[in-house]
Structure 1
């Protein structure tokens, strides 16, 4: 594994701190639902874009670890695992499509959001629901009616924000 320079570690730390701060400002799209949107994935996307997938992975891991240890109220790690999975899955197309100049921002957004939403449905069915102890008899109905649209909305918000920031990143890269 390539050794991380001090400069890279400082950038990862700063983006992790930003991500943790953004995690505090979460809001519910669907009232009464446990599903919340936060902007903590924007620094993950920035870190991955500037420094590669390892940096994005580390930022996502650290922000969820800090959130679990400080902010999380229920003591169940299922939400953090789901958020971590969402972060990494949203980040990967951004990093790997970055090198392909044929992809436009709109295509990148669609590929990322649809891909992460579909994969998160499967992840939620097999990991999150069992960890929360939820009844799985009608899980696919709930996932398709609530979670899939939620993940599409959340992913779209995050990707639009990232696309607005991306031109600035090209200048500082």
Structure 2
């Protein structure tokens, strides 16, 4: 644990968390998968890269700092409930991925890790939306549940109730998010990790 908080790792966590916080400001929808009020960003990419380098505990810390930075810059539109959900979903992605990669430090290990993380993130998204996020929006903001379901049904006719909405809209949304984040991480990780290791040897 002492090694985690050495100067190099503290700087690494600060930089990657800050990048993640800034990337959270640029959100975009995936309209053919989920309604437009579900927007993704690429903020998990720097956190995942940092987690592969420094481990899962560092990943959780970066995930938390990333959310705090986003709130400080942009504020919250969900009374922090959505921010908490984003933290949980992000952790469900980066923690399994970094744990597996820590045990199997190969491309195959990284691939298994991000696949496991994507599955965990998709499941977490379903659970959190079903039990927390959708009920919160309905109660706190007076958003009609029928309106949410109708938005989902306009994209996927399999939507009939809250559960089916989370399964056929929210889960695929998070799966695509995981795939995109993983591909970008695979493209960038080797160069970034090599550069960081080179700094440590200077």
- How does the TM-score come out when normalised to structure 2? 0.74
Indicate the residue corresponding to 2:42 in structure 1: 39
Taking the TM superposition and a 5 Å limit, the aligned residue runs for 1:105-144 are 105-133=110-138, 135=145, 138-144=161-167
Taking the TM superposition and a 5 Å limit, the aligned residue runs for 1:146-157 are 146-157=169-180
Indicate the residue corresponding to 1:63 in structure 2: 66
Tell me, in whole angstroms, the C-alpha distance in 1 between the residues paired with 2:105 and 2:59. Answer: 21
Tell me, in whole angstroms, the C-alpha distance in 1 between the residues paired with 2:162 and 2:54. Answer: 38
> 1:94 touches 1:108 (CA, 8 Å); kept in 2?
yes
User: May I ask how many residue pairs the two structures share in their alignment?
Assistant: 173
Tell me, in whole angstroms, the C-alpha distance in 2 between the residues paired with 1:128 and 1:29. Answer: 19
Q: Does 1:48 align with 2:71?
A: no
Q: Which consecutive aligned stretches of 4+ in structure 1 deviate over 4 angstroms post-superposition?
A: 134-137
Tell me, in whole angstroms, the C-alpha distance in 2 between the residues paired with 1:169 and 1:76. Answer: 36
Structure 2: runs of 5 or more not aligned = 140-144, 147-159, 198-202
Secondary structure in structure 1 of the residue aligned to 2:24: helix
Residues 23-67 of structure 1: CA distance to partner in whole angstroms, max 9, x if unpaired? Answer: 122111128521111111111101111111121111111111222
Q: Find the structure with the greater CA-based Rg.
A: 2
Which range is displaced more, 124-133 or 147-156? 124-133
- How does the TM-score come out when normalised to structure 1? 0.86
> 2:30 touches 2:39 (CA, 8 Å); kept in 1?
yes
1:162 deviates by 0.9
Structure 1: runs of 5 or more not aligned = none
Tell me, in whole angstroms, the C-alpha distance in 2 between the residues paired with 1:146 and 1:130. Answer: 16
